[in-house]
Structure formats: C-alpha cells, structure tokens
Chain A
Amino acid sequence: MTDLPNAFALQRNALWERLGLASLIMPALLLIIITMLVPVCWLFYLSVLSDAGNFSLEHYQRMWEQPSYGRTFVNTFKVSLLTTGICILLGYPLAYFLSELPQRVANLCMVAVLLPLWTSLLVRTYAWLVLLQRKGLINNWGIELGMWDEPLALVHNLTGTLIGMVHVMLPFLVLPLYSAMRAIDRNYLRAAANLGAGPLRSFWLVFFPLALPGLSAGVLIVFILCLGFYVTPAVLGGGKVIMVSSRIANDIEIFFNWGAASALGVVLLLLTALLIFGAMRLTRVGSVLSDRAAS
C-alpha cells in the first residue's frame, strides 16, 4: 500500500495519534505498576530468598511441613465457607424479596443494603464490638430481660468473627444477585405455571437457574474477599481466629519474617487467581453444558 500517494504521511499521523492516546493512559498505568506491581513482584522475590540471602524454597517448605500453616489455611477456608454460606442463607431471600417489590420501594430498600457498604469498615467493626462484648449491649439486654444468666461469649471468637464478616459481606452478595433477579422476565414463571408447575418446581426449575449467574458472581466476590480479609477477623476474633491475613501481618509486625510473610502472600494471591480463573472457566463451561442439554 505504500505506493499510494500520501501513504507515508498518513501512517506517520496515525502513529502520532496512537502515541497521544497512550499518553493519556500512561500516567495511571505507571502509578499502578510502580506502586503495586513492582512491590508485589518484590514479594515474590522475597519469598524465594532464604534468611541468609540466597535462593531457597525454605519458606514454602516450612509451610508444607509445619502443621500450624495447614491449620491457618483450613481455618481461613472454614471461615470463608461459613461466611459465604450464611450470606447465601440470609441474602437470597432478601434479594428475592427486593426483586419482587415495585421499583421505587426497592430502590429505597437498597439504601439499607448500600449504607453499610459505604460506612467505614472500622465504624461497623466497632459497632459489633459494642454489641457483642461481655459487657456489650446484647449481653446487657439478655441478662436484664432474664434470657440468660452468664454473659455469652459472642466476640473474640469464631462467632463474633462470623457475625462481623457476614455483616460486611452481605451487600456484596445481595447486589449482583438482586440485579440478576430483577432482570428475570416474570413471564417465564407464568409460562411455567401455565404448563403445570407448582410454585416450588417453577422456582427450582425456572427461577433458580436464571438467577444463578448473579448468585455465582456474588459467591465468588464474597469468597475471595473473605480469603484475604484482615480487619474484621483481627478485631472481632481477638487473636483466636487466625486467618492467613492475620498470619501475614503478624509475621511482619512481630517477627519481621519477610520470607515467611511473602511466601504466605504468594500462596494467597495464587489461590485468589485460581479461583477467579476457575470461575470464569466454569461459567463458560456451564453455559456450554446447558446448551448441550437443551439441544
């Protein structure tokens, strides 16, 4: 094509234009690369550095050998699974209820869901501390009303952690689920009823599958957030609920053990990446499977 008149000048202009657009994107990109990618890569590097300073996999080996690390991971998964499960139990009915309301009422109620999201995490965590302490509000009321005699241990343990985490994570589940449910054409349910399906069957066979993408998205977000969560378990767990994030923080703050901390961090990051890719693959596979089943 270079035999055409003005071809060279046009190509040069095209290049300038692309450079101009790149320069719009560059500053933000550079900031992120320098303040995030470089440090994280540095961590990867640290994780394979022995305490003496040469290449070694001893940190990973320690993780594999010492049972406490295994317990930490098991604990993290346990808490994350429990949190996700409770969120589903509480969030699914709520999302369904909201999706049935007329739009304006639903928008108003959504404020209730969004408000905790935008309130500072510390404020929310503090609020639960106030409620759940031995001398906290719930215990005070319970004893006053004679429901129990001894103050219940509601915080600085797994219970408190779960309550706090569910409170934080619930909006993240409800939002995508609600929008998926809202988008479901109610005519499908009418058609199902018309064809003879009772309320339970039409829910299970029609509504649930149609809402599934929203549920999957919410579950994925919540689970991944739980895995790496620090603040709430640290405060409401009282040192008894050790998750991976707390372990990492302790390794740095108390033991100055960069190698161990970064190795843990790398594993956490890889787990997160695996989950995300797995979910992306599954949803594509899932849709293919359902197409096959239908044909």
Chain B
Amino acid sequence: MSWLQNPATETQITHRARLWLYATSVLVMVFLVIPTLLVIPMSFSASQYLEFPPREWSLRWYASYFSSTSWMDATATSLKAGLLTALLSTPLATMAAYGLHVSRLRHANLLLMLLLTPMVVPVILIGIGVFYAYVKLKLVNSMLGLVLAHSMLAIPVVMLVVSSALKTFDMDQELVARSLGASRLKAFWLVTLPQIKFSVVTGAVLAFLTSFDEIIVSLFVSGGPNSTLTRNMFNALRDQVDPTIAAISTLIVLVTTILLVITQYVGRSK
C-alpha cells in the first residue's frame, strides 16, 4: 500500500488523500453499469418472483417470449421498422451531409441546424404532433408512418456521424479524381465513399438502433398489428412486472452490444 503515499498530481496530493475520489468514481461506474447487467441473470431465474441470485435456473421466460404471438409480432415489427429506417435514413442523411459539406451555400449552417432539430425538440411533442398528423392522414398504426417518423429521428444521428467523417477527409482527393477524368458522382463513388464507408455503416447501425429503441413516437403511432416491441414493453412495465421482460431485455442488450462491437471491429480493421 506504499503507493498511497506517492504524489498523484502536480500539486503533490497523495493517492491516500484522494482515496475518496477513487472510491466515489468506482461506485458511480458500478452504479452506471450494474443495473443493466443485473437483468441478465434475472432472465434465467425459474421463479416468478424477483430474487437474486436466482435459486433455480430456467429458460422458461425465453420460452414464454418465443412462444407468444404478440411478443413475436411486436419483435418482427420492430426489426422490420428498424431495417427500413436504416435503409431510408442512411442514404438520405449521407447525401445531405455530403451536399452541405461540399457546397459553399451561404445558408449551410442554417440548413444544418434545421436538419438537426429532431434532436432538440422534446420527443413528447414530436410524438403527439406526428400522431395528430397521422390521424388526419390515416397513417396511424401503419408501417409506412412508423418508418417515416423514425427516419426523421434517425437522420440527425446519421448526419452527425457522416459529417464528422467528411470533415477529416481530404477533399483534394476528389478534386484529383475529377482532374483525372472522373465525374463528380464517380469521384464520390470510387474515392470518397470507400473511405467513409466505416462511418456510413456506423450511421446505419445507429439509425437502426434509434428506431428499434424508440419509445414515445411508437407509443402513439404504432398499434394494433403494427405495435412495436417497445410499445408493448412499455405498457407491460406500467401494468405488472412480467419476468418475460427480463428475457427480452437480455436479448436486446445482446443484440445492441453485438451490433456496436461489429461497427467498432469494422473500423479497427481499416
């Protein structure tokens, strides 16, 4: 424990004097991580009542999830909506990010802020607003309406990722490509896109997650046969604590982690 006496900072405070800092930080990190992780072992508990550690292990809650039509339908809806959202918002946001980056429009900043507003406006407002509009347009409980709304929420996310990639990209390469005979489109496709590929893929994954995890708009706008997983889970949480949710939660955490690890891995291999 002699390292406790060693100075830790430029101002000569020892490690011992800063023990409170280390303890607090570790505790806060535990606070951040543990609750989510706790859900995982809970999902394997045989008992209907909450207990930790589980006395008996069982897969009954997973069975209950996979055998329930309503849960499966909801999951399919969420997956489909997520995929379609990623497919729609990624090209749209990438084009917009590229267009803003390349143009010397005077109002480029204004347009950028406009494209980022879905992140700033309180989601509850967006939720009821979209709901109202969809009632009028008869788009409530439709996949189309859901995907449009989710894409609107995902576009700022993808734009931020792609924009930051473009900022560190040397645009001279596009100029050279054009001087060598490539049209603007060919130059983007052959030179720029392969190099920002990683960011575009990350953007697409984040767009998927944005849609998959989205709660509030889905609450209002999805329903009936097109009810999302999040909507069903939310309602279930308010009613009673069904341990099936623990199983679903574990699966969600797994899928999210795998997706994020994949994007990190793809990036590292560049």
Residue from the list A98, A190, A199, A235 in contact with B234, Cβ < 8 A: A235
Chain B residues within an 8 Å CB radius of A31: 92, 148, 151-152, 155
Cβ < 8 Å to A, chain B residues 175-219: 209, 212-213, 215-216
**9-residue interface stretch from B22-30, B64-72, B164-172:** B22-30
Chain A interface residue number, banded:
35 or more
Q: Mark B13-32, 1 if CB is under 8 A from A, else 0.
A: 10000000110110011011
Q: Is the CB of B105 within 8 A of A252?
A: no
Nearest Cβ distance between residue A14 and chain B, in whole angstroms?
Answer: 11
Chain A residues within an 8 Å CB radius of B245: 126
Q: Is the CB of A120 within 8 A of B124?
A: no
Give the docked Cα–Cα distance between A257 and B102 (Å): 46
Q: Which residue of A lies closest to B112 (CB)?
A: A25
Q: Is the CB of A42 within 8 A of B133?
A: yes
Chain A residues within an 8 Å CB radius of B8: 100
Q: Is the CB of B152 within 8 A of A129?
A: no
Nearest Cβ distance between residue A64 and chain B, in whole angstroms?
Answer: 20
Give the docked Cα–Cα distance between A43 and B125 (Å): 9
Give the docked Cα–Cα distance between A276 and B250 (Å): 37
Q: Does A116 contact B (CB under 8 A)?
A: yes
Q: Does A285 contact B (CB under 8 A)?
A: no
Chain A residues within an 8 Å CB radius of B42: 130
Chain A residues within an 8 Å CB radius of B253: 119-120, 123
Q: Does B225 contact A (CB under 8 A)?
A: no
Residue from the list A90, A118, A137, A202 in contact with B52, Cβ < 8 A: A137
Known: A42-B129, A46-B132. Is A90-B28 also a contact (CB below 8 A)? yes
Chain A binding surface, main DSSP class: helix
The total of interchain contacts (Cβ-Cβ below 8 angstroms) comes to: 244
Chain B interface residue number, banded:
35 or more
Nearest Cβ distance between residue A128 and chain B, in whole angstroms?
Answer: 6
Give the docked Cα–Cα distance between A16 and B24 (Å): 60
Q: Does A113 contact B (CB under 8 A)?
A: yes
Give the docked Cα–Cα distance between A113 and B36 (Å): 12
With A167-B32, A171-B32 known, 11 other A-B pairs at CB within 8 A are: A29-B115, A32-B152, A32-B155, A43-B129, A116-B33, A119-B253, A131-B35, A231-B215, A235-B234, A265-B129, A269-B121
Give 16 A-B contacts (CB < 8 Å), ordered by A residue.
Answer: A24-B96, A27-B96, A28-B93, A28-B96, A28-B115, A32-B117, A94-B28, A94-B29, A119-B252, A127-B35, A197-B11, A227-B122, A228-B122, A230-B124, A235-B237, A268-B124
A residues sitting closer than 8 Å to B (CB atoms) are 18, 21-22, 24-25, 27-29, 31-33, 35-40, 42-43, 46, 90-91, 93-94, 96-98, 100, 109, 112-113, 115-116, 118-131, 133, 135-137, 140, 167, 170-171, 186, 189-190, 192-193, 197-199, 202-203, 224, 227-228, 230-231, 234-235, 245, 248-249, 252, 258, 261-262, 265, 268-269, 272, 276
B residues sitting closer than 8 Å to A (CB atoms) are 8-13, 21-22, 24-25, 28-29, 31-33, 35-36, 38-39, 42, 49-52, 92-93, 95-96, 98-100, 102-103, 105, 111, 114-115, 117-118, 120-133, 148-149, 151-152, 155, 159, 209, 212-213, 215-216, 220, 230, 233-234, 237-238, 241, 245-246, 249, 252-253, 256, 260
